[in-house]
Amino acid sequence: MLCRAACSTSRKLVPALGSLGSRQKHSLPDLQYDYGALEPYINAQIMQLHHSKHHAAYVNNLNVTEEKYQEALAKGDVTAQIALQPALKFNGGGHINHTIFWTNLSPNGGGEPKGLIPLLGIDVWEHAYYLQYKNVRPDYLKAIWNVINWENVSERYMACKK
- By CB under 8 A, name the binding residues for other proteins: 49, 53-54, 57, 86, 90, 125-127, 130-131, 134-135
Contacts of residue 142, Cβ cutoff 8 Å, sequence gap at least 6: none
Q: Closest Cα partner for 123 from 151, 144, 139, 149?
A: 144
d(CA 117, CA 84): 36
Element (H, E) at 58: helix 56-75
DSSP designation for 136: -
Q: What angle do CA 64, 95, 19 make, to 5 degrees?
A: 60
| Nearest CB to other proteins, comparing residues 6 and 57 | 57
Q: How far is the CB of 43 from other proteins (least distance, A)?
A: 13
Q: Which residues are annotated as a binding site for Mn(2+)?
A: 50, 98, 123, 127
Residue 55 or 156 having the CB closest to other proteins: 55
Nearer to other proteins, 59 or 159 (CB): 59
Shortest Cβ distance from residue 67 to other proteins (Å)? 19
Minimal distance, residue 126 CB to other proteins, in Å = 4
Asked if 36 and 47 count as a contact pair (C-beta separation under 8 A), the reply is: yes
Q: What angle do CA 28, 81, 21 make, to 5 degrees?
A: 55
* Cis peptide preceding 40, ω within 30 of 0: yes
Min separation Cβ 60 and other proteins, Å? 13
In whole angstroms, the minimum distance from the beta carbon of 34 to other proteins comes to 20
Q: Toward other proteins, which CB reaches closer, 11 or 127?
A: 127
- 23 vs 54, beta carbon nearer other proteins: 54
